[in-house]
Every structure is written in structure tokens, then in C-alpha cells.
Chain A
């Protein structure tokens, strides 16, 4: 070995030792950082140095000082054929078939055993049913009912005049015995005050928006995110998840983005005290679609 090579190895040895020393000190530093009350950045730096020192030291040692092979050259190994010898294969097949024939002599037993296992697998599916309930009713209806007041998240009932034209408010049904915002996943509704001269409801929706107070489901018909943004200038609702736009003046039909269906409209009226109430549940299922949404 040349002296140049030897001195190079000396340097690498020293570097490796230094890396291990840094790791050791960093581990102690981590313990100190923790003991002194813990500080995420210090913990992170010391932990990284502890791991990194060990990694660097071992890396130098492995790459620079350890041989690939005791011969000093690159190690070479032959690959064995992966397949077994034809004799072994034939012997295996023969042994297996012998056993199989033994079993096949009693076909009735075999059939019965298979049937028993199949029945067991079928029976095992039943307890899975406990994981959920029949989905249809929950998907097709919400807790909104006729005469239920629209309340804010704070529980305040709303009159049409409480909103200025262009203002939007998230409302929920005033469910008896439940806090405001209960069942919000289904019931969240956007109440928007529009200028009644700006939009012309279709005949079947006439009288659903007293004094221009119009209500749409807040659950996006695309992937179910809350349609949380309102552009009062363009009269568009924006879903922040996938950027669908719904035109509030045109029954919340989608005008841009991936949504295919309008946001369902909640029919409103006012009660004796002038507060907004629902005329009933949404006339169609709210939220993202499913295969039998329009079916019975």
C-alpha cells in the first residue's frame, strides 16, 4: 500500500471518528434539550445530528474503508437457476396427485366439506352488517321539516330583513332538544338575500323565497364539501374544494367546474312572528350523487 493511500485512509478514519463523536454529543444534547423543557427545533437538530453522525460515520467506513470482497476486487457471485430440476418438479406433482387421488376417492365428503366452508364464509358476512345501517333513508332525507325555523350557528332565528341584499348566512334547522348546528352534515343551508326583481323563479318554486330570502343546500353536489364562498357581484357560490360555481339567480345551477347538478333549494316561508321557516324538507336528496338518487 502506498503511503499516499495510507494517509488518505488516516484522514477517512479521523473523519469517521469525528462523525461518531458528533453523534454522541448530539445525543447528549438531545437529552439536555428535553430535560431543559423541550424545544422542538433543538430536539430536531440534535436528533438529526445524532442520526446523521452515525449515518455519515458508517457511510464513510462502509464506502471508503471496507472492501467489497476479501479479495479486494468487486465481489462476484453466480446466480442459480430459480426453477427446480425437472425431476424435483415431477416428484412434487406426483406426490401431490397421490394425495389428491386419496381425497378424490370420497367425492361426497369433499363436496360436503366445501359446502360447509362456503356456508361458514357466508355466515361470517352477516356480522359485518352491524357496521352500518340501511343507507337509503339517510341519503334521501334531512332533518328539515315544515315549520322549522332557520337558526344561525349561535341559535338565533332569522327574519328576511335581518339580511341585507347580497348578504349570505349559514343556517340550520331549529331541531327540538338539540344544539344549533346539530346534524350540520345534512342540514347546513345557505340563506342568501337577493333583490326579488333580479331573479325569476320557475313556477313550481314560486313562493319559496319570501322577500328575496332564498335558501340552498350548502353541501356541494359534486364531492360534498361545504360551498363556503359567495361572490355577491356575480351572484355565484364557489365550492373551495374543487372550484365548482353555482349561479344563485338561476336555481343554483352549476355554471363552471366539475359539479353536474344544482344545489337543492329549501322552500321557505315566514311564520306568524315573521321568522323564516322551512316549508318542508329539501324536495330532492342533497349532497353528492349516488346511483339510485332518483330511484324509488
Chain B
């Protein structure tokens, strides 16, 4: 009865019942791989929640203080207020360490889910028209997430984070013509400065999260409006969506996934130590730790910096330092190719049609091979980012490992790509017996549903579907009678 009064009260004023009713009946297709994006979304929720809590205790200042907290090994050590307050969160704020570690784990999971989501979209062709637009929105979200991850772990002003900023400033410095100014304007002078933590804090807690929030609204709005893709199968065509309705099944499942994500993040936050800043000590520009690795999503850049040969470009006194190529050119090229991929592929294949059915990866051998090769390339770079760790673990010299990784980064991607291509060609038979990569109908509509393709779409079809009633359906009523 309350629901009925509430609905009447709101609908009298805004008239939202018609739209929201069709929203309740909206159909979402089911596949495990469709959950990666949701996990990313819910990790972002966790990041915002834990982040707000942390921001109430963190002091983003490089004012020098003497540590007086309960962690004895640091007693009376001079350090910045930022590092000191991070120690306070870790040792003296009750539940502070749990929230801090859950926040850090959430960032790692956020980016892992984004990458998995991106791979799902790529390998199944979900980026094709009309979703090429949303693909670019998603990539921008990916970039923002990377930037905010880096800004976040750089805030704590421990030895590891300071070293990361040092490398970051060297990369920015290497940009021809504008590099020195970029560093000066971003850091407030030559590295190290007293202003960077305060600036990063604003970037990390205000600017980037706002941008992510706004773009997420666009991203999800487009998914909603354009409707989700689906894998081919019985009864599934380019012109329908088969799955479950938003209300109540899909909503309950998605909320379940949200709580499941939170459960994993807090289990990790409580049980698996991450970024133990108290072991690193405060940042001192003249000190450095060995085995200094960034968070995993920066690993490919770290590996690139290590593998790129000592080549710099010189014309007279003009030079392009070596770090420019792996530090600036590689990520720029990577994202340029990702942004342009849907358009490049359209040019090459000539396929300009809208696609709502996904292609199984084996049905597009060329795309899948390119994707597998690219993943191998970034995978080798990621591993190379830990070559000093491998050297210690396996008793190899760093020199040997460097030569091995340099060879692997050149040889492995084409090799993996070629093998992938062969495997796809050999194992895939299209439902219609047509050769793979048919531009007309990748994946192919199931033969028995050929007629369904030509059913004209009517608004009536959607709204005439039977609705669940407002009262909760009791479980015993739901089985087939």
C-alpha cells in the first residue's frame, strides 16, 4: 500500500510511471563475461565509499612532522604529514587499515575488471557499430582509472610512491618542447617539490572521480539505450534481446554481484597485506628500495622502461631522451590504436552494419590473433617489469633476463598471433558453413531462426509483454505449472 501511495505521489508530480514501467521490464542477456563491467562498477562504488572514509583522516600535506604514533620503529622520525597520517590510518585509526587495504585492493580489482571487460568487448566484436561510440567512452574511463590509481598510491609519500613520482616526472620531462614546462606546472617546479601531494590529492579525490562518475553515467546510459549485445543462440537474433527482465531477477542478481564484490574486497583488505608503507619509510629523494614495482596496471610501462634499448634521438642540440619512447610514445600509441580500432576494422573489412550479436572469438581469426598477439606483447612487458624479482627468485643475472625479455617481446607476440590464427581457422565452423569472418553475419544467426530476422520491431512488442505485479512473487508460484 505504501508503494502504491508513493507511486501516486511521485507520478502526480513527474509522471514517471510510464518510463519506469518499461524500465522494470527491460531484458538483459546473461553470460558470465557480461559481469566484468559490473564488477568494475561495483569496485568503483567500493572505492568511493572507502575513499571518503580515508579522506577524513588523511592529511595531504608535505609539512614536516615528527612521527609520534604507535608504530614504534618510526618514533621521532621526521616525515611529511601525508606519510604520518597514512601511518596513523594504518595503526591508530580503528578499522583504518582494513579500509585502507580494501581501498587499495578495490583499485587493483577495478582495473583488472576494466581490462577483462575490454578484452571481452574486443574478442567478441562488441565494439562494432552502434557501440563504437560507447567503446571510446569506456576507453576514456580506463585512462581515468589508470591515472587515478597512480595518483592514489603516489599520495602516501612513502619511499616507493616517491620513487614512482620521480619516474613519472622524468617521463613527462622527456616530451619534446613542452616537457620541462609540463613538469614545472604539474609539480610546481623541478622534482621534488613541496606541492605535489596537495595537488595530487585534488586530482585523486575530486577531479578524476567526478570525471569517472560523469562518464559512467554516459557509459551506462548508452548501454541502456542501445541495449546489450548477446551471443548467438536459439531464438536470438540481431533484432531481439533474450535474457531476464530487470525486475526482479536481473536486479537481484546484480545487487548480489555487488555484495559479492564487496565481500572479496574486504576479505582481501582484512587478510592479505598490500602496500605496507610502514616498511618502506618516508620518501627521501636520495634513497631507493630494490625490487621497486608499481601497482600491476603500471607494470607494462615499467617493463617498457626497462626493456627499451639505450637509444635517444639527436639533431644537433635537440634530443629526444630514451624514456620518451616507452614512457610516452608506447602508451600514446596503445590508446590511439584502441580508440581507433572500431574504425580501422570497419575500413579493412568494409563491414558498416550494426551488430547486436557477438562473434565467438574463433569466428574472427584475424581479430582474435591480433588481440592475442597484443596481449602477449603487454604480458611480456608486464613480466619484464619484475625482472629484478625474477633474477633473485631464479638465480639468473639481470643481464641474461634483459636479453631474454628483449627477445621475447619481439618474437612472442607474432608467434602467439600466428598460432591463435591457425587454431581459430581449424576449430571454427560457422553455423551456415560459410567461411569465418563473413562480413554479412559474423557468428551467424541460427538457421531455424532465419525468419525472426525480418520481424519488424514495434514498440507494442515491448510494452505488451506480461508484467510482474507490484507484489513480490512468492517462490512457489514461479515454476512452470
Contact = CB atoms under 8 A, between A and B. Distances in A.
A46 to B, nearest CB: 8
Interface in A110-145: 128-129, 131-136, 138-139
Contact of B317 (A76, A153, A292): A292
Contacts, number: 323
Closest 8 A/B residue pairs (Cβ): A44-B270, A289-B321, A55-B259, A132-B184, A52-B263, A68-B244, A58-B256, A62-B252
Interface centre among A74, A139, A223, A240 (most CB of B within 10 A): A223
Nearest to A65: B475
Interface centre among A75, A136, A181, A289 (most CB of B within 10 A): A75
B95 A1 contact: no
Interface of B: 25-27, 94-95, 97-98, 101-102, 130, 163, 166-167, 169-171, 173-177, 179-181, 183-192, 225-227, 235, 238-245, 248-250, 252-253, 255-264, 266-271, 284-292, 305-312, 317-323, 327, 354, 356, 387-388, 398-399, 402, 455, 457-459, 461-462, 465-468, 473, 475-476, 478-481
Contacts of A13: 475
B458 A78 contact: yes
9 contacts: A44-B267, A48-B263, A61-B252, A77-B465, A185-B190, A228-B290, A289-B319, A290-B321, A293-B321
Nearest to B293: A241
Contact of B286 (A45, A65, A153, A260): A153
A133 B94 contact: no
B287 A226 contact: yes
Nearest to A73: B480
Interface residues of A, number: 93
Interface in A38-63: 38, 40-45, 47-52, 54-59, 61-63
A223 B323 contact: yes
A45 B402 contact: no
Contacts of A226: 285-288
A134 B183 CA distance: 10
A62 B266 contact: no
A77 B169 contact: no
Contact of A40 (B97, B166, B171, B354): B97
A185 B94 contact: no
Given A45-B270, A62-B252, A258-B309, 12 more contacts: A38-B95, A44-B102, A48-B263, A70-B467, A76-B240, A79-B457, A80-B457, A132-B189, A135-B180, A218-B286, A240-B291, A260-B312
A289 B292 CA distance: 22
A269 interface: no
Contact of B177 (A72, A78, A153, A291): A291
A254 B402 CA distance: 15
Interface in A246-296: 254, 256-261, 287-295
Contacts of B225: 82
Contact of A260 (B226, B322, B327): B322
B466 A70 contact: yes
B170 A40 contact: no
Given A131-B186, A292-B318, A9 B191 contact: no
A55 B260 contact: yes
B167 A291 contact: no
Contact of B241 (A57, A77, A260): A77
A224 B185 contact: no
A58 B259 CA distance: 9
Interface of A: 1, 5-6, 9, 13, 34, 37-38, 40-45, 47-52, 54-59, 61-63, 65-72, 74-82, 128-129, 131-136, 138-139, 153, 170, 172, 181, 184-186, 188, 218, 222-226, 228-229, 240-244, 254, 256-261, 287-295
B60 to A, nearest CB: 17
A48 B167 contact: no
Contacts of B286: 153, 170, 172, 181, 184, 188, 218, 226
A76 B183 CA distance: 55
A67 B184 contact: no
B258 A55 contact: yes
Contacts of B240: 76-79
Contacts of A129: 185
Contacts of A40: 97-98, 101, 270
A74 B244 contact: yes
